[in-house]
Amino acid sequence: MDDLNRERLKRAGASAIVRPLRGYPEMIVRAIVAPGTEWIIERLFSSEGDECLRFDVAVDGLTWSSVVRAVLEANYGTPVGYADVEGQFHSNPPPQAPIAATALFILVDETQKPTNSALQKLLEG
């Protein structure tokens, strides 16, 4: 799907315009079931817009909601998951669950510039 055709397809009545991704064919179903999710997913797979980055920080005993709140309020992005001390990955954990993490996965845009040390300081504070 050529980006130049998006507006033309919208004017023609398309309700969901999806750029096919070979590695993620389920995106077409997502676009039908939950319109708009295809746009968010495309931005994560493209080189423009938001990206999910890993930050190696130690978190122990904080609830997931307190981690998310602190990172959001510092304008460092949106945490979406973490790696625990055993190397297991967790996405969208329950908000009141205390976590023990060695890394956070955070959606950031081009204006947000968190670093490992800035995040570590924030979460220790």
- Do the beta carbons of residue 103 and residue 68 sit within 8 Å? no
Question: What percentage of the chain reaches a pLDDT higher than 70?
Answer: 85
Same domain, 15 and 61: no
CATH number of domain containing 116: 3.30.70
pLDDT at 6 over 70: no
Between β-strands 51-55 and 89-91, what pairing exists: parallel, antiparallel or unpaired?
unpaired
Where residue 65 falls among pLDDT bands split at 50, 70, 90?
Answer: very high
Task: Report the domain count for the chain.
Answer: 2
Are residues 10 and 38 both part of a single domain? yes
C-alpha 104, offset from chain centre: 11
pLDDT at position 40 over 90:
no
Mean pLDDT lowest among 24-33, 72-81, 116-125: 24-33
Q: Same structural domain for residues 57 and 39?
A: no
Residue 6 neighbours by CB distance under 10 Å: 13
Quick one: 90 and 105 in the same domain? yes
Domain that holds residue 32: 3-45
- 110 and 57, same structural domain? yes
Q: Is the pLDDT of residue 90 over 60?
A: yes
**Residues 73 and 109 grouped into a single domain:** yes
Contact criterion met (CB below 8 Å) for 4 and 19: no
Same domain, 24 and 65: no
Q: Do 57 and 93 sit in the same domain of this protein?
A: yes
Per-residue model confidence (pLDDT) at position 20: 61
The mean predicted confidence, pLDDT, of the chain is 86
DSSP letter, residue 32 = H
In this structure, the answer to whether residues 73 and 40 fall within a common structural domain is no
Do 66 and 115 lie in a common domain? yes
**Predicted confidence (pLDDT) at residue 124 exceeds the cutoff of 60:** yes
| Statement to judge: residues 59 and 80 lie in one domain | yes
